[in-house]
Amino acid sequence: MKCENCTKKECSKKQKNDDTQSTSVDALSSGDGFEEKNEFPTLANAKILLSDCLACDSCMTSEEGARVFQQNQKELFRILNLNKKCDTSKHKVLAVSICPQSLPYFAAKFNLSVNDAAKRLCGFLKSLGVHYVFDTTIAADFSLLESQREFVQRYQRRNQEEHALPMFASACPGWIRYAERVLTNLVTSHICTAKSPQQIMGSLVKGYFARQQNLSPDKIFHVIVAPCYDKKLEALREDFYTALYNSQEVDCVLTSGEIVQIMEQKNVSMEDVTEVSVDTLFDDMKEGDVVRHDGKRSDGYLEHIFKYAAKELFGMEVKEITYKALKNKDFQEVTLEKDGETVLRFAAAYGFRNIQNMVLKMKKGKFLYHFVEVLACPGGCLNGKGQAQTEDGKPDKALLNQMEEVYAAIPVRLPETNVHVQKMYQDWLEGMDSKKVQETLHTTYSAVNQTASSLDIKW
């Protein structure tokens, strides 16, 4: 499937034409035998744009294309319809996990507080037949804790290991796909091995929660609600698949906009939905008020890792971080000074123009940063292409400004203060330095053979 905005003159997969390809993909996405009861015949199939998910060798394989097309609202309703049938052996426990950057979209769009938006969204999903609705903030807690510990370890090994620094954040699947498909191991070896919050949530739901509920992982159908389309491709990664149970950690990703589309098809208004408290992974406990991490538009990897490293490596308490904008507002740096020397230099690089400039500097040996928070979307995660878009596919700037205000007003909770996370490290993961932590919370990234050069694509 050729990317819509691909800059190459000819798709490297050399399909005869896009129409033939799209026909075969549509056939694969609709041949599951549930169309006769399809409650949403007019819902659009998932669409992948270069700017959305960046299949960075300028195309996706037909298999990837087919599987991405299956990650849409129809797949959710296939499971809901399956659960209504008499054969209980085929029933699935349906769990939906919501990303923190999606909630401000629902709050701003429907003029609700973020807490009311979370409860009404939970109420709507449960009215459809969803069994559990979770907040992925706890998964981001794990991801941040593992990332900051890894950075300190890399910094301490920097003189012994060539690829220890710089360290690049691993939370954005668009960036990861670009690095693996287009760049070389020169770059991928620098990517943090901590899983993204989405995939850690997959491990929590299919691992911890499944064990708590005495369920086999394949009996749970896990849906993520996210702000961007990149997450659909991330869910398909082979390293997030358990062969023993024939089960992905995340079975389907729907964007915030796709959830709104379901509401519109059902003629449901958020104002009319009953509020229901969001579930937790712990027995009958419910979530309290919505919390977030440091960071203006994302989970705040730069801020958390910077403060942790300043304390662990140099004994310095950093309360507030001052960003210095460089070429543009989406490329900013943060430095730590001690005794007149710059001991830490971090950067935030959002959008692929900034990312490509960063990589070029690295290849030229002019890269001075110890850590970079890399995000594919200009403006960060709130500006994901799966939400806050106008009908012509451009960012809805007025709505995005409201979302930023909503997100900034959410109270910050440090991941170190989450008592549930600390307890899970001991009771489920067998300690912070255990082999199980590496198997459950980490992965590896490496360059994939491809024909396109990173310089072939102009951003």
Query: Which of 24-38, 261-275, 334-348 is predicted with the least confidence, judged by mean pLDDT?
Result: 24-38
Whether 313 has a pLDDT exceeding 90, the answer reads yes
**Statement: residue 451 has pLDDT above 60:** no
DSSP string, 243-299: GGGTEESS-EEEEHHHHHHHHHHTT--GGGSPP-PPB-SSTT-B--S--B-SSSSS-
Lowest mean pLDDT among 59-63, 102-106, 384-388: 59-63
Determine the pLDDT at residue 263: 95
Beta strand pairing call for 93-98 and 331-338: unpaired
Six token digits for residue 49: 């744009």
Angle, CA of 148, 138 and 429, to the nearest 5°:
70
Residue 422, CB-side half-sphere exposure with 13 Å CA sphere: 6
299, 319 contact by CB (below 8 A):
no
pLDDT tens-digit map of 197-217: 999 999 999 999 999 999 999
Per-residue pLDDT band for 45 (boundaries 50, 70, 90) equals low
Highest mean pLDDT: which range of 66-70, 148-152, 360-364 = 148-152
Is the pLDDT score of 374 beyond 70?
Answer: yes
Contacts of 154 (CB under 8 A, 6+ apart): 161, 164, 165, 167
Distance of CA 267 to the CA centre of its chain: 29
Least confident segment among 62-66, 290-294, 426-430: 62-66
The pLDDT confidence band at residue 395, using thresholds 50, 70 and 90, is: confident
Banded pLDDT at 43 (limits 50, 70, 90):
low
How far apart CA 230 and CA 175 sit, in angstroms, is: 9
* DSSP state, residue 1: -
Phi/psi class of residue 265: alpha, beta or left (left: φ > 0; alpha: ψ in -120 to 50)? alpha
Whether the predicted pLDDT of 442 surpasses 80? yes
Average pLDDT for residues 321-336, to the nearest whole number? 91
Tell whether the model's pLDDT for residue 6 goes beyond 70: no
Band (pLDDT 50/70/90 cuts) for residue 343 is very high
Gap between the Cα atoms of 53 and 71, Å rounded: 14
- Find the DSSP H helices in 382-442: 397-409, 419-427, 435-441
Rounded to whole angstroms, the Cα distance separating 213 from 374 reads 36
pLDDT of residue 394: 83
Decide: helix, strand or coil at residue 331: strand
Using one digit for the tens of pLDDT, what is the confidence trace for 113-135? 999 999 999 999 999 999 999 99
What is the per-residue pLDDT for 46? 47
Indicate if the pLDDT at residue 330 is higher than 60.
yes
User: With 80 as the cut, is the pLDDT of residue 324 above it?
Assistant: yes
Q: How many CB atoms lie within 10 A of CB 69?
A: 23
- What distance in Å separates the CA atoms of residue 144 and residue 154, rounded to the nearest whole number? 15
Gap between the Cα atoms of 189 and 443, Å rounded? 12
Q: Mean pLDDT over all residues of the chain?
A: 84
**pLDDT of amino acid 61:** 64
CA distance 391 to 452: 32
Q: According to the per-residue pLDDT averaged within each range, which of 16-25, 229-238, 246-255, 309-318 is highest?
A: 309-318
Return the number of other C-beta atoms located less than 10 Å from residue 407's C-beta. Answer: 25
- Sign, CA dihedral 187-193-194-197, equals positive
Task: Determine the Cα–Cα distance for residues 455 and 58; give it in Å rounded to an integer.
Answer: 12
Q: What type of residue is 156?
A: Q
Instruction: Give the pair of three-digit tokens for residue 153.
Output: 């370890």
Query: What integer is the mean pLDDT of 297-317?
Result: 94
Buried b (16+ CB within 10 A) or exposed e, 282-293: eeeeebeebbbb
* Tokens of residue 265, six digits: 């098809």
Residue 439 has pLDDT above 60, yes or no: yes
C-alpha distances out from residue 267 to 275, 363, 388, Å: 17, 53, 20
Strands of the sheet with 371-375, listed across from one edge: 167-168, 371-375, 341-350, 331-338, 324-325
Q: Is the pLDDT of residue 49 over 70?
A: no
pLDDT band per the 50, 70, 90 thresholds, residue 5 = very low
Full-model pTM: 0.86
Q: What share of the chain is helix, strand, coil (3-state, %, to 5)?
A: 45, 15, 45
Kindly report, residue by residue over 377-389, the tens digit of the pLDDT.
888 899 888 998 8
Most confidently predicted of 130-144, 221-235, 358-372: 130-144
Percent of the chain with pLDDT over 90: 60
Give tens-digit pLDDT for 226-251: 998 889 989 988 888 776 677 889 99
Q: What is the token pair recorded at 95?
A: 């769990």
